[in-house]
Amino acid sequence: MSERTQLLIRSECARVRTGAGVPTIPGRAVPEPPPRRPDWERSYFRAAFCSDLLCVLAADLFVTVAYRHLSLGSLGAWQGGLAVAVAVLVLSMLSLALAHAWDPRVLGSGAEEVHRVGRAYVWAIAVMAVAGYALGTSNGHSWVFGALPLAAALSVLGRYVLRLELRRRRRSGGNLRSVLVAGDVAEVLELIKRTPDISQAGWRVDAVCLADVRPGEELPLAIEGIPVIGTEKDIVGIARLHSFQAIAVLPSSGWTPTRTERLSWELEGTGTDLLIAPVLMDVVGPRLHIAPVAGVPLMQLSAPTYSGPAWVIKNVLDRIFALVLVIGIAPVLLMIACAIRASSRGPALFKQTRVGRDGALFTMYKFRSMVVGAEGRIRELAAFDEGAGVMFKIHDDPRVTRVGKFIRRYSLDELPQLFNVVTGSMSLVGPRPPLECEVARYGDDGARRRLFVKPGLTGLWQVSGRSNLSWEESVRADLHYVENWSPTLDLLILWKTTRAVLRPNGAY
């Protein structure tokens, strides 16, 4: 956006505030209020609806052909089976609607979308089971225990395929919701730092309105390349002028609840959503609650818990799954060890002291990917350090062997850490295990909170870019895990790890 255009917008917004009516920009007709949802959202909704419908139909057909063998039965069996199949179809689609599984706000969002789809099918299975019991018939068992679970799995798979395509388009700058941000300079800067995360969630910050401008103070033309087109008093006028899908308000010290409420009234009819971020922090999910007290919505932040039944189950399943993996991939481990020994002098395994939960030291195992004595050459290569913060990284590290480059590329060097998981010093999912020297250099950025849980074989750091991340991004990813741990988050990270290994971006 050019400087002249910004000045025009500012002057026209001033006319709106003074009651001069909805303005026009020279040479441009006044646009109608933007639609509630852009075209791509409506197309995505239709694609998700059709995908779910086809999944239920496919599951119905599979059960009819594979389980019921109705082609060999009587006409009555055909009619009864057809009635149950239709009931399953109607009930499934109705459950998805009641669970708001096609809500535009969750379509393409990932975990919440899957959660709603799963909840819908749980309801459908429960209703079918109760109906069958009440009618005293077992004719619907094949659909309760066959068609509906199969339809649920197919629906989740279909949503995943759609989400992959949506993310591909978002990476190229398409299918994003245009957002106007209102807040003070510090808050806006903090939000802009998170632009990659915002884009992945489907938002694009296109403009800024500053809320901490004194009378007569000159507005900056841009903040980190994002144009500043007015103050908080211009928000309504700008919403009428331009097709922003949302206004994101970052309340500053001078932003009162009354102003927020009045803004929501003034935005009614513009087709623009109002987003309110009470604070910019990495705490979301089950720890965050909105509790109304005396008519005032208060955000309640519960303390994190790193013990209890859920953590016991996590530790037990970690060890069992790691042991099964070690047994299952034992031939692969042996082949990698032989390749390392044959290609360079030294042992196949590399042992290193790392810092675990609550600062406890443990010996971490990896396949050796460097020459013997590589740690002693760190000072020699310090001038080539490309790592951020306290981590030491070199993209083309001369200490890495030929076999080491291959096993690093596909994270095969980390497989011996499964033995650490079996012994309990590590977890399958968790923060990156730090070195002692790294922990000694931790500052006041919250990095020490990483030590509240066991380090992991994989984690958000692993699936978000690995060595391509800056130190701040790496810390934020690990802190997000520590603050918001849940079994669902663990499963999501394990699922994404497969893709991260097959597409080794940032592995060196």
Give the pLDDT confidence of 276-332 residue by residue, as tens digits: 776 555 555 556 666 655 555 666 666 667 777 888 899 999 999 999 999 999 999
Residues with pLDDT less than 50, the chain: 1, 4, 7-8, 12-35, 70-72, 74-75, 508
Q: How far apart are CA 112 and CA 141, in angstroms?
A: 29
Partners of 292 in beta bridges: 297
Q: What is the pLDDT of residue 33?
A: 45
Which tokens sit at 300?
Answer: 């309640």
Q: What is the pLDDT of residue 53?
A: 95
CB 220 within 8 A of CB 231: no
CB 466 within 8 A of CB 506: yes
Q: b/e per residue, 53-80, with b = 16+ CB within 10 A?
A: bebbbebbeebbeeebebeeeeeeeeeb
Cβ neighbours for 421, distance < 8 A, ≥ 6 positions apart: 318, 319, 322, 427, 428, 457
Q: What is the pLDDT of residue 67?
A: 60
Q: How far apart are CA 84 and CA 59, in angstroms?
A: 13
Q: What is the pLDDT of residue 474?
A: 80
Beta strands 203-210 and 177-183, pairing class? parallel
Q: How many CB atoms lie within 10 A of CB 44?
A: 22
Q: What is the pLDDT of residue 177?
A: 85
Q: What is the pLDDT of residue 157?
A: 93
**Helical segments of 451-505, H only:** 460-463, 471-484, 487-502
Q: What is the pLDDT of residue 271?
A: 73
CB 132 within 8 A of CB 141: yes
Apex 329 CA angle, 326 and 334, nearest 5: 100
CB 449 within 8 A of CB 434: no
Residue with the two structure tokens 């009651």: 19
Q: What are phi and psi of 472, to 5 degrees?
A: -65, -40
Give burial (CB, 10 Å; 0-12/13-18/19+) of 10. Answer: middle
Nearest CA among 479, 389, 395, 387 for reference residue 432 = 479
CB 143 within 8 A of CB 88: yes
For residue 256, give the amino acid letter: T
Q: How many residues does the chain have?
A: 508
Q: What is the pLDDT of residue 230?
A: 85
